[in-house]
Structure 1
Amino acid sequence: MDDKLNIRLDLIRKDNKEPLSGDDYRVEFYDEDLIKDDFLGETGLDNFGHASISIYRKKFRSLDSPAEKDPDIFFKVYKSEKEIYKSPVFKNIKVKEVSNYSASGGLDVDLGTFMI
């Protein structure tokens, strides 16, 4: 069975430690691969600086990584279509080890809180 992954993170401002929010911000999530990174999805930020997407494991198993079991996830933050932050790559996320089953179904993966 292909498990659903719920990937989330929180963004706060460096200058005042308030949540990063607003309609001009968006976050894109990727799985790093040798040839071409897999685009996992994108989302806006809520009023609390939360960003989250839900994907199925098959989304990060591409032609250049068909046997991949543990994704190498990174994200980019955009403001008004300009990239303002790129995260480090979280290598080989052991989904079963870092996740909890969600009430909405699937596994929760929390990447943490980041100051932008």
Structure 2
Amino acid sequence: MLYAILCYDSQDAVCAWTKEKDDQVMAQLGAVQVELAKQKRLGPVARLAPTTKATTIRKGTHPVITDGPFAETKEQLLGFYVIDCASLDEAIETAKDLAKASGSAGAFELRPLQLFNPGGELR
């Protein structure tokens, strides 16, 4: 079954990291990704640009376009993983591995995922 692991953290805290700290965290996460790839369980992985680069389009007859999401929250969605796991327990263990590797106080949200492109490739 496919799962999305949504990565939340304080954007301000992550943006304040030194290049060395960022490189260290990315290397630790990369090590987990290598293991998942070897097991053929890793799909797309993305690191999102800061919310200051976001554009929001509100639904309606005449959609309204605004800069940023303007979410009133301390944690923002900073990235995501798509993984293929045999069970929810396996997906939870994978998210725990990523959480340990990230070295931050953020959260990893796990959701079952259904692709909208029938027959499309995960990898």
Q: If the length of structure 2 is used for normalisation, what is the TM-score?
A: 0.30
Which structure's CA Rg is the greater one? Answer: 2
Q: Give the TM-score normalised by the residue count of structure 1.
A: 0.31
Which structure: greater helix fraction?
2
State the structure with bigger RCO (CA 8 A, min sep 6), 1 or 2: 2
